[in-house]
Chains A and B, each alone.
Chain A
Amino acid sequence: MNTPFSEELRRTPLYDLHVALGAKMVPFAGYEMPVQYPAGILKEHLHTRAQAGLFDVSHMGQRFLIGPDHATTARALEAMTPGEFQSLGQGRQRYSLLLNDDGGIVDDMMATRPLSPDEDGELFLVVNAGRKSVDDDFIRARLPANVRFVLAEDRALLALQGPAAEAALARHCPYAAQLSFMAGIKTTFDGVPCHVSRSGYTGEDGYEISVPAEEAEDVAKALLAEPEVLPIGLGARDSLRLEAGLCLYGHDIDETISPTEAGLTWAIGKRRKTTRDFPGAARILFELLEGPKRKRVGIRPADKAPAREGAEIVDQNGKRIGVVTSGGFGPSAGAPVAMGYVDASHAADGTNIGLMVRGTARPAQVVPMPFVPHRYKRSTTGL
């Protein structure tokens, strides 16, 4: 029976493969996604940090901005973000934020400028699955007439993450080894045209590979056949990004939170701070100068009990000073880890705080992030 309220879950092109691999499938952002495979979240997490993990991130939104030249398209994107895109190099990728007029974060995303001069004027965007429809309306409403917005719904997106990702991918896509962190290019994987960028969301070196939907299963199977590679579900994706200190949209950032509060000020271009021409610039530049009222911080519980999203943060006197936005056990940290927002007066590293877990304030400390050092490949001789 169909009711108007029943939500039809979508499937990625790798759905059958996930099921064949024994994944536990769960609803996530409107998709049926693998939360874990038979190895389990703990092993999947540790394997990714030790070797390489393959993630299906096809639920994420792949989009193109297409304008007459790079300057026009870059300016169009700059009208919605605090990023510097005009000077973005060819074949380079940048993390950015869609901002509303109050400086709140509508979404976080990646944007890549093509390497080929023939394609200049395009920007390839990857946005969060759960924000696709909001983002699409937001972007369309702000684009000038000469920049088109094109959805690439016929593509899958795979992430290969971990210290062995380069070796495994280079066997099928030799050019991948030439890329440095945050470079992206069109190339081929065993002859299949694809877009490969050296990026990801685990804190490890790794890649994101965009392929035509009908080729996705073959590409995934070829990578899984490599001895270093295991399939990794959303459970480990979450614990990996938490240890890396990276924000999950809808949890650590949302439309009420500014980049300054979230500690994402590095996503604000230097020129943009002077030109003050991005949405919410008044609030954000004021917060940059005066400091925001609340700040996102890393948190280490003193004992072994994890504090989960929603746990209240209290000061030494039991007064509420904030809330945990992501929290759990960090398999590589070997301990519980969390992040959350606290009043700026309690945001200094080393501040002793309490976390309300099951009615008791448990001791914890504000600590720097990431919890596990990033291992990005920032410099090679290539791109």
Chain B
Amino acid sequence: MSEVRYTDQHEWIRIADGIGTVGISKYAAEQLGDVVYVELPAPGRKLNSGGEAAVVESVKAASEVYAPAAGEVTENNPALEGEPATVNADPEGAGWFFRLKLSAPGDLTKLMTKDQYTEFLKGL
């Protein structure tokens, strides 16, 4: 079964078989507005937990996306190059950014569960 965790920077990561799929939360996508460009990490790139991983640009501004956990990028989402608006349409599904092979799966325990994240949003 897959498990989703959230960061306080509004990234999500869904784990299955030691591979994490990463994107930005529905809340983040709504805050950004219309996404017009996404810059994704190339496969093979090693990411540190909390390190800069991707950039998402709306009409108004550019925002960093941070790696929720350490690992090596295995693939990124080719659909976002042609259709960056997928991030708005389905931020926690088809709008995923990249996948990574986790180097320290224990990192994830520090992240929020869906319920914890929902509570966290109420406090913003």
Q: Which residues of A contact B (CB under 8 A)?
A: 35-36, 40-43, 45, 235-236, 238-239, 304-306, 308, 328-329, 331, 336, 358
Contacts of B37 in A (CB 8 A): 304-306, 329, 336
Most buried by A among B33, B34, B58, B62: B34
Q: Which residues of B contact A (CB under 8 A)?
A: 33-34, 36-37, 39, 55, 57-62, 81
State whether B58 touches A41 (Cβ < 8 A): yes
B39-A329 in contact (CB<8A)? no
How many residue pairs between the two chains, A and B, have CB atoms under 8 Å in the bound complex? 44
Q: Which among A235, A304, A336 is the interface contact of B60 at CB below 8 angstroms?
A: A235
Contact yes or no, B60 A40, CB < 8 A: no
Which residues does chain A contribute within 8 Å of B34, judged by CB atoms? 40-43
Min C-beta distance of A116 to chain B, whole Å:
42
Q: How far is the CA of A35 from the CA of B60 in the complex (A)?
A: 10
- Identity of the chain B residue whose Cβ is nearest the Cβ of A306 in the assembled complex: B57
A305-B39, A329-B36, A329-B37 known; A41 and B60 CB under 8 Å? yes
* Shortest beta-carbon contacts, A-B, top 4: A42-B34, A329-B36, A41-B59, A304-B37
Complex CA gap A336/B58 in Å reads 11
Please indicate the chain B residues that have their CB under 8 angstroms from the CB of A40 in the complex. 33-34
Which B residues are CB-close (under 8 A) to A336? 36-37
Please classify the interface of chain A as helix (H, G, I), strand (E, B), loop, or mixed, using the class held by over half of its residues. mixed
Is A308's CB under 8 angstroms from B33's CB? no
Q: Which residue of A lies closest to B88 (CB)?
A: A40
Tell me the smallest distance from the CB of B52 to a CB of chain A, in Å: 9
Q: Is B33 within 8 A of A235, CB to CB? A: yes
Closest chain-B Cβ to A9's Cβ sits at a distance in Å of: 19
Supposing A41-B58, A358-B55 touch, asked if A36 and B33 sit within 8 A by C-beta, the answer is yes
Give, as a whole number of angstroms, the nearest-CB distance from B80 to chain A.
11
Q: Which residue of A lies closest to B84 (CB)?
A: A304
Which residues on the A side are within 8 Å of B81 (C-beta)? 304
The CA-CA distance from A238 to B59 in the complex, in Å, is 10
12 contacts between A and B (CB under 8 A): A40-B33, A41-B59, A42-B36, A236-B59, A238-B60, A304-B37, A305-B37, A306-B36, A306-B57, A308-B61, A329-B36, A336-B36
Query: What 15 new A-B contacts, CB under 8 Å, besides A35-B60, A236-B59?
Result: A41-B33, A41-B59, A41-B60, A42-B33, A42-B59, A43-B34, A235-B33, A304-B36, A304-B37, A304-B81, A308-B61, A308-B62, A329-B57, A336-B36, A336-B37
